[in-house]
Amino acid sequence: MCGSSPLPELPEVEATAAKLDRWTRGRSLLRVELLDASLLKAGDLQAVAGLTVSRAWRRAKYALLELGPMTLVFHLRMTGKLVRADGKRPPRARLHLDDGSFVGFEDVRRFAELWVLDTDDLEAFFTGKKLGPEPWPMARDGAWWAAQLGGLKSPVKTALLRQDKVAGLGNIAASEILWRAGVSPSTAASAVTPTQWAAIAEAAPAHLAMALADASQEDFVYLTESKSAANNPFRVYGREEEPCPRCGVAVARFVQSGRATFWCPGCQQ
Protein backbone atom coordinates (compact mmCIF):
# COMPACT_ATOMS: atom_id res chain seq x y z
CA MET A 1 0.00 0.00 0.00
CA CYS A 2 1.45 3.36 -0.94
CA GLY A 3 1.65 6.24 1.45
CA SER A 4 0.06 9.60 0.82
CA SER A 5 1.65 12.93 1.64
CA PRO A 6 0.61 16.54 1.13
CA LEU A 7 2.59 18.72 -1.18
CA PRO A 8 6.26 18.75 -0.21
CA GLU A 9 6.95 20.15 3.25
CA LEU A 10 9.78 19.37 5.65
CA PRO A 11 9.01 15.63 6.15
CA GLU A 12 8.41 14.98 2.46
CA VAL A 13 11.65 16.72 1.46
CA GLU A 14 13.50 14.86 4.22
CA ALA A 15 12.17 11.57 2.82
CA THR A 16 13.07 12.63 -0.71
CA ALA A 17 16.63 13.45 0.32
CA ALA A 18 16.99 10.14 2.18
CA LYS A 19 15.84 8.18 -0.87
CA LEU A 20 18.09 10.21 -3.17
CA ASP A 21 21.02 9.52 -0.86
CA ARG A 22 20.26 5.79 -0.90
CA TRP A 23 19.97 5.72 -4.71
CA THR A 24 23.04 7.80 -5.54
CA ARG A 25 25.66 7.98 -2.76
CA GLY A 26 29.08 6.92 -4.03
CA ARG A 27 27.94 6.78 -7.64
CA SER A 28 29.29 8.94 -10.44
CA LEU A 29 26.78 11.30 -12.03
CA LEU A 30 27.42 10.89 -15.74
CA ARG A 31 25.15 13.72 -16.81
CA VAL A 32 21.97 15.61 -16.07
CA GLU A 33 19.49 15.37 -18.94
CA LEU A 34 17.47 18.59 -18.86
CA LEU A 35 14.08 18.02 -20.51
CA ASP A 36 12.56 21.35 -19.47
CA ALA A 37 14.94 24.29 -19.67
CA SER A 38 12.79 26.43 -17.36
CA LEU A 39 13.66 24.15 -14.43
CA LEU A 40 17.26 25.39 -14.26
CA LYS A 41 17.54 28.77 -12.51
CA ALA A 42 21.31 29.15 -12.28
CA GLY A 43 24.55 27.32 -12.96
CA ASP A 44 25.98 24.98 -15.59
CA LEU A 45 24.90 21.33 -15.54
CA GLN A 46 28.11 20.41 -17.33
CA ALA A 47 29.96 21.34 -14.13
CA VAL A 48 28.57 18.27 -12.31
CA ALA A 49 29.11 15.72 -15.11
CA GLY A 50 31.45 12.95 -13.96
CA LEU A 51 31.49 13.97 -10.29
CA THR A 52 30.84 11.46 -7.50
CA VAL A 53 27.88 11.90 -5.17
CA SER A 54 29.01 12.64 -1.60
CA ARG A 55 25.56 12.73 -0.04
CA ALA A 56 22.00 13.96 -0.43
CA TRP A 57 20.44 16.02 2.34
CA ARG A 58 17.76 18.57 3.17
CA ARG A 59 17.75 22.23 4.22
CA ALA A 60 14.27 23.66 4.92
CA LYS A 61 12.20 22.64 1.86
CA TYR A 62 15.25 22.19 -0.40
CA ALA A 63 16.72 18.81 -1.41
CA LEU A 64 20.46 18.89 -2.12
CA LEU A 65 22.65 16.47 -4.05
CA GLU A 66 26.24 17.17 -3.05
CA LEU A 67 29.01 16.13 -5.45
CA GLY A 68 32.21 17.28 -3.79
CA PRO A 69 32.91 20.80 -5.08
CA MET A 70 29.46 21.21 -6.69
CA THR A 71 25.89 20.77 -5.44
CA LEU A 72 22.52 20.42 -7.16
CA VAL A 73 19.81 22.25 -5.19
CA PHE A 74 16.18 21.32 -5.85
CA HIS A 75 13.23 23.34 -4.56
CA LEU A 76 10.29 20.97 -4.98
CA ARG A 77 7.61 23.65 -4.66
CA MET A 78 4.09 22.16 -4.97
CA THR A 79 4.53 18.95 -6.96
CA GLY A 80 8.24 18.28 -7.43
CA LYS A 81 9.27 14.67 -6.84
CA LEU A 82 12.46 12.69 -7.41
CA VAL A 83 11.66 9.12 -8.46
CA ARG A 84 13.64 5.99 -9.31
CA ALA A 85 13.66 5.63 -13.11
CA ASP A 86 10.65 7.11 -14.90
CA GLY A 87 7.44 7.37 -12.92
CA LYS A 88 3.89 7.96 -14.06
CA ARG A 89 4.54 11.42 -15.50
CA PRO A 90 7.08 12.79 -17.99
CA PRO A 91 10.11 14.06 -16.05
CA ARG A 92 11.55 17.55 -16.31
CA ALA A 93 15.06 16.15 -15.85
CA ARG A 94 16.92 12.86 -15.45
CA LEU A 95 20.08 12.23 -13.41
CA HIS A 96 22.08 9.50 -15.19
CA LEU A 97 24.37 7.40 -12.95
CA ASP A 98 27.39 5.25 -13.76
CA ASP A 99 25.59 1.97 -13.00
CA GLY A 100 23.13 2.58 -15.85
CA SER A 101 20.29 3.73 -13.57
CA PHE A 102 18.78 7.19 -13.47
CA VAL A 103 16.66 9.33 -11.19
CA GLY A 104 13.79 11.26 -12.73
CA PHE A 105 12.49 14.61 -11.54
CA GLU A 106 8.71 14.89 -11.96
CA ASP A 107 6.81 18.12 -11.48
CA VAL A 108 3.29 18.19 -12.91
CA ARG A 109 2.69 21.89 -12.14
CA ARG A 110 6.20 22.93 -13.23
CA PHE A 111 6.82 25.28 -10.30
CA ALA A 112 9.99 23.52 -9.06
CA GLU A 113 13.45 25.05 -9.41
CA LEU A 114 17.01 23.74 -9.78
CA TRP A 115 20.33 25.47 -9.11
CA VAL A 116 23.88 24.26 -9.78
CA LEU A 117 26.08 25.82 -7.11
CA ASP A 118 29.61 25.66 -5.80
CA THR A 119 29.34 23.75 -2.53
CA ASP A 120 31.27 26.54 -0.82
CA ASP A 121 28.49 28.95 -1.81
CA LEU A 122 25.63 27.04 -0.15
CA GLU A 123 25.70 29.01 3.09
CA ALA A 124 25.49 32.30 1.21
CA PHE A 125 22.71 30.91 -0.98
CA PHE A 126 20.55 29.99 2.00
CA THR A 127 21.39 33.24 3.78
CA GLY A 128 19.99 34.99 0.73
CA LYS A 129 16.80 32.95 1.08
CA LYS A 130 16.45 34.30 4.65
CA LEU A 131 15.87 30.89 6.19
CA GLY A 132 15.56 30.53 9.91
CA PRO A 133 16.83 27.61 12.01
CA GLU A 134 15.55 24.06 11.61
CA PRO A 135 12.82 22.90 14.03
CA TRP A 136 13.75 19.21 13.80
CA PRO A 137 15.26 16.62 14.37
CA MET A 138 17.25 18.49 17.02
CA ALA A 139 15.52 18.99 20.38
CA ARG A 140 13.58 22.27 20.56
CA ASP A 141 11.80 23.11 23.80
CA GLY A 142 8.95 25.49 24.44
CA ALA A 143 11.33 28.34 25.28
CA TRP A 144 12.95 27.95 21.84
CA TRP A 145 9.60 28.15 20.04
CA ALA A 146 8.61 31.16 22.13
CA ALA A 147 11.90 32.90 21.33
CA GLN A 148 11.43 32.30 17.60
CA LEU A 149 7.76 33.21 17.27
CA GLY A 150 6.46 34.70 20.51
CA GLY A 151 7.21 38.28 19.50
CA LEU A 152 4.91 38.15 16.47
CA LYS A 153 1.45 39.72 16.57
CA SER A 154 0.12 37.52 13.77
CA PRO A 155 -1.96 34.39 14.49
CA VAL A 156 0.20 31.50 15.63
CA LYS A 157 -0.81 29.42 12.59
CA THR A 158 0.52 32.17 10.30
CA ALA A 159 3.62 32.59 12.47
CA LEU A 160 4.52 28.91 12.08
CA LEU A 161 4.79 29.48 8.32
CA ARG A 162 7.43 32.24 8.68
CA GLN A 163 10.43 30.62 7.00
CA ASP A 164 12.73 33.31 8.38
CA LYS A 165 11.78 32.25 11.91
CA VAL A 166 11.41 28.47 11.60
CA ALA A 167 12.48 26.84 8.32
CA GLY A 168 10.62 24.01 6.63
CA LEU A 169 7.15 24.00 8.13
CA GLY A 170 4.24 24.25 5.70
CA ASN A 171 0.51 24.77 5.81
CA ILE A 172 -0.39 21.19 6.62
CA ALA A 173 2.23 20.88 9.35
CA ALA A 174 1.04 24.09 10.99
CA SER A 175 -2.56 22.88 11.21
CA GLU A 176 -1.53 19.44 12.45
CA ILE A 177 0.94 20.73 15.07
CA LEU A 178 -1.59 23.15 16.54
CA TRP A 179 -4.24 20.42 16.69
CA ARG A 180 -1.85 18.09 18.51
CA ALA A 181 -0.95 20.91 20.90
CA GLY A 182 -4.59 21.90 21.51
CA VAL A 183 -3.90 25.52 20.52
CA SER A 184 -6.32 27.60 18.47
CA PRO A 185 -4.82 28.69 15.14
CA SER A 186 -6.36 32.13 15.65
CA THR A 187 -4.46 32.86 18.87
CA ALA A 188 -1.91 35.64 18.41
CA ALA A 189 1.61 34.23 18.62
CA SER A 190 2.40 36.90 21.21
CA ALA A 191 -0.48 35.59 23.37
CA VAL A 192 0.56 31.93 23.36
CA THR A 193 1.38 30.87 26.93
CA PRO A 194 4.54 29.06 28.03
CA THR A 195 2.42 25.96 28.63
CA GLN A 196 1.10 26.15 25.08
CA TRP A 197 4.59 26.65 23.65
CA ALA A 198 5.68 23.54 25.55
CA ALA A 199 2.76 21.65 23.98
CA ILE A 200 3.79 22.90 20.52
CA ALA A 201 7.36 21.75 21.25
CA GLU A 202 6.02 18.22 21.87
CA ALA A 203 3.55 18.30 18.98
CA ALA A 204 6.00 19.36 16.28
CA PRO A 205 8.33 16.33 16.38
CA ALA A 206 5.35 13.99 16.82
CA HIS A 207 3.74 15.27 13.63
CA LEU A 208 6.99 15.46 11.67
CA ALA A 209 8.01 11.92 12.61
CA MET A 210 4.60 10.57 11.60
CA ALA A 211 4.64 12.43 8.28
CA LEU A 212 8.21 11.33 7.57
CA ALA A 213 7.31 7.68 8.14
CA ASP A 214 4.43 8.01 5.68
CA ALA A 215 6.48 9.85 3.05
CA SER A 216 9.36 7.38 3.38
CA GLN A 217 7.36 4.63 1.72
CA GLU A 218 8.86 3.90 -1.67
CA ASP A 219 5.72 4.60 -3.70
CA PHE A 220 4.01 7.50 -1.99
CA VAL A 221 1.71 10.05 -3.62
CA TYR A 222 0.88 13.63 -2.73
CA LEU A 223 -2.66 14.35 -1.56
CA THR A 224 -2.98 16.65 -4.57
CA GLU A 225 -2.46 13.58 -6.78
CA SER A 226 -4.88 11.30 -4.93
CA LYS A 227 -8.63 11.15 -5.44
CA SER A 228 -9.28 9.02 -2.35
CA ALA A 229 -9.90 10.43 1.12
CA ALA A 230 -8.64 7.10 2.45
CA ASN A 231 -5.12 8.20 1.47
CA ASN A 232 -5.17 11.12 3.93
CA PRO A 233 -2.95 10.23 6.92
CA PHE A 234 -3.57 13.47 8.84
CA ARG A 235 -5.65 14.17 11.92
CA VAL A 236 -7.49 17.34 10.84
CA TYR A 237 -6.01 18.56 7.55
CA GLY A 238 -8.48 17.92 4.72
CA ARG A 239 -11.09 16.57 7.16
CA GLU A 240 -13.66 19.36 7.31
CA GLU A 241 -16.92 18.23 8.98
CA GLU A 242 -15.42 14.89 10.05
CA PRO A 243 -15.38 14.17 13.82
CA CYS A 244 -12.25 15.24 15.64
CA PRO A 245 -10.29 12.11 16.58
CA ARG A 246 -9.75 13.53 20.07
CA CYS A 247 -13.09 15.00 21.14
CA GLY A 248 -15.59 14.17 18.37
CA VAL A 249 -16.56 17.75 17.49
CA ALA A 250 -16.71 18.39 13.74
CA VAL A 251 -13.44 19.63 12.24
CA ALA A 252 -13.80 23.15 10.82
CA ARG A 253 -12.04 24.95 7.99
CA PHE A 254 -11.34 28.63 7.41
CA VAL A 255 -8.84 30.73 5.47
CA GLN A 256 -5.87 32.53 7.04
CA SER A 257 -3.54 34.64 4.92
CA GLY A 258 -4.85 32.91 1.81
CA ARG A 259 -4.22 29.39 3.20
CA ALA A 260 -6.75 26.80 4.36
CA THR A 261 -6.65 26.13 8.10
CA PHE A 262 -8.22 23.01 9.60
CA TRP A 263 -8.90 22.86 13.33
CA CYS A 264 -11.22 21.54 16.03
CA PRO A 265 -13.41 24.16 17.74
CA GLY A 266 -14.01 21.69 20.57
CA CYS A 267 -10.50 21.05 21.83
CA GLN A 268 -8.26 23.79 20.41
CA GLN A 269 -8.63 26.74 22.72
- Among all residues, which ones are annotated catalytic? 8-9, 61, 259
Q: What is the largest CA-CA distance in the chain?
A: 58
User: For residue 138, how far is the Cα from the chain centroid?
Assistant: 16
CA distance 48 to 40: 14
Buried/exposed 53-66: b ≥16 CB within 10 Å, e otherwise: bbebbbbbbbbbbb
- Smallest Cα–Cα separation from 24: which of 79, 92, 128, 94? 94
C-beta separation of 24 from 95 below 8 A? yes
Helices in the chain by DSSP H: which ranges?
A: 10-24, 122-128, 142-149, 156-160, 171-181, 194-215
C-beta separation of 16 from 64 below 8 A? no
CA distance 21 to 39: 21
CA distance 52 to 30: 9
Half-sphere exposure of 215 (CA within 13 A, CB side): 27
Give the DSSP letter of residue 243. Answer: B
Residues in the chain, overall count: 269
CA distance 128 to 159: 20
